[in-house]
């Protein structure tokens, strides 16, 4: 899910969207059928300058003089085009992931859009390139990510890390 507006998303809204998508995906695909990440973090603290509204409150308040408020909550500042939620799943569960993200969009203000990535999982590698690089031995799986064989460094270290890439040369 990608943000389509410059806005602030509260930590409560992020948690509600995560729970909504997680519940739907667990129900449809099972606990092991997906991997979801919340890609924004609520580090920005927002404050509130509370005002009294009862009779006689005008003598107690100072208005906007010294209006530094007390912390009210935390928000994530989101830019246009920034990824909010990511889900990786098998192709058979793609429709369930899109529906889960659509349901979690209702927890956020503003506009968001759902984009199906052309990359393999959470990696920066295209789907068609991933299979070719894996067969050549130039990358290996590392949890939810991959390790790449780079063209620099000691050859001995690369041979230890990526033996499949060097076995045709031996």
Distance, in Å, from the CA atom of 60 to the CA atom of 27, rounded to the nearest integer, reads 54
Please report the pLDDT score of residue 144 as a whole number.
84
Please report the pLDDT score of residue 49 as a whole number.
86
Please report the pLDDT score of residue 74 as a whole number.
97
CATH H-level superfamily of 1-49+66-116: Ribosomal protein L16/L10 (3.90.1170.10)
- Residue partners of 50: CB distance under 8 A and separation at least 6: 69, 70
pLDDT tens for the chain, 170 residues: list them: 999 999 999 999 999 999 999 999 999 999 999 999 999 999 999 998 887 777 666 666 667 777 788 999 999 999 999 999 999 999 999 999 999 999 999 999 999 999 999 999 899 999 999 988 888 878 888 888 888 887 787 888 878 877 777 776 65
Please report the pLDDT score of residue 59 as a whole number.
63
pTM > 0.75: yes or no: yes
Q: So where are the chain's domains? A: 1-49+66-116, 118-170
Distance, in Å, from the CA atom of 25 to the CA atom of 29, rounded to the nearest integer, reads 5
Please report the pLDDT score of residue 55 as a whole number.
65
118-170 belongs to which CATH class? Answer: alpha beta
> Where are any strands of DSSP class E within the chain?
2-3, 7-10, 34-38, 44-48, 70-78, 85-89, 112-113, 139-142, 145-148
């Amino acid at each position: 899910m990608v943000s389509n507006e410059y806005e602030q998303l509260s930590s409560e809204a992020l948690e509600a969207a995560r729970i909504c998508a997680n519940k739907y995906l667990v129900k449809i695909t099972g606990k092991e059928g997906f991997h979801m990440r919340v890609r924004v973090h609520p580090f920005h603290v927002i404050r509130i300058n509370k005002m009294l509204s009862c009779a006689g409150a005008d003598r107690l308040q100072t208005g906007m003089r010294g209006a530094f408020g007390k912390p009210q909550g935390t928000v994530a500042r989101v830019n246009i085009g920034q990824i909010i939620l990511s889900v990786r799943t098998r192709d058979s569960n793609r429709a369930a992931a899109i529906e889960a993200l659509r349901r979690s969009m209702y927890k956020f203000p503003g506009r968001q859009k759902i984009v199906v990535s052309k990359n393999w999982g959470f990696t920066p590698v295209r789907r068609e390139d991933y299979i070719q690089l894996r067969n050549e031995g130039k990358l290996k799986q590392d949890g939810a990510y991959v390790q790449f064989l780079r063209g620099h460094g000691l050859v001995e270290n690369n041979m230890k890390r990526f033996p499949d890439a060097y076995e045709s040369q031996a």
